[in-house]
Amino acid sequence: MLLHIPDILSAEQVASMRAALEATDWTDGRETVGAQGARVKHNQQLPDGSPLRRQLGQQVQAALARHALYHAATLPLRMLPPRFNRYADGGQYGFHVDGAVMALPDEGGQLRSDIACTLFLNQPDDYDGGELIVSDTYGEHEVKLPAGDLVVYPSSSLHRVAPVTRGARLASFFWVQSLVRDDGRRRLLFELDTSIQSLTRSGADAAALLQLTGVYHNLLRQWAET
């Protein structure tokens, strides 16, 4: 499921993050990928050990914790702490598939990367190019969102970032291990959840809503992995 989730960050939060990122030092983005990824990755990242990465990542995580649509779509069990990247001067990331299992640096253990997330930190007209292009059985989908908005999509998807030919593209990115491993099942649960919320707002029959809510939770109980 590829989904646009608006307003993760406010305009004020975005402006504060951008000011901090524009004043910091960056490192070569190839330091955090394997040999295959390094051949097609040309960008900059905040070093994993950077205090700024930790500080801004905590702000992103706090914002996500308050966002109901994000939780409904991802059903998060654990997540890799957010990282930050910068594309400029032709920077791009060629087609690739994310690693299936990733180390959790702060708490130890590992994460199965079910869902990839990109949080855009500047406006689309601030730069040319830089579209996230996700390829699936329905074709290629170009994503270039307003600052503060998030896109989530299956980590198993073939995807790339188009070259940035003017300006700079700033973003935060991270991966989520979901309670529900299968993307199709997550989609069904999300559609059921959003339908229940819509029916609740419309004043639908309370007994029917209770039954639908029971169906949602019983499916989640059957499919969830902890």
Q: What is the pLDDT of residue 38?
A: 66
How much is the pLDDT for 138? 86
| Helices 51-65, 11-22: crossing angle, 10 deg rounding | 170
Among residues of the chain, what percentage have pLDDT more than 70? 96
Domains delineated in the chain: 3-178 (2.60.120.620), 183-223 (4.10.860.20)
71 three-state secondary structure: helix
Instruction: Identify the bridge partners of residue 13 per DSSP, sorted by sequence position.
Output: none
pLDDT in tens, 51-82: 999 999 999 999 999 999 999 999 999 999 99
Exposed/middle/buried for residue 111 (C-beta within 10 Å: 0-12, 13-18, 19+): buried
H/E segment holding residue 212: helix 206-223
pLDDT, one tens digit per residue, over 157-206 is 999 999 999 999 999 999 999 999 999 999 999 999 999 999 999 999 99
Residue in the block written with tokens 């979901």: 178
Report the distance separating Cα 80 and Cα 39, nearest Å: 23
Residue recorded with tokens 């939060």: 13
Q: Is the pLDDT of residue 207 over 70?
A: yes
Report d(CA 113, CA 56) in Å as an integer. Answer: 21
Token look-up 């990465």 returns 53
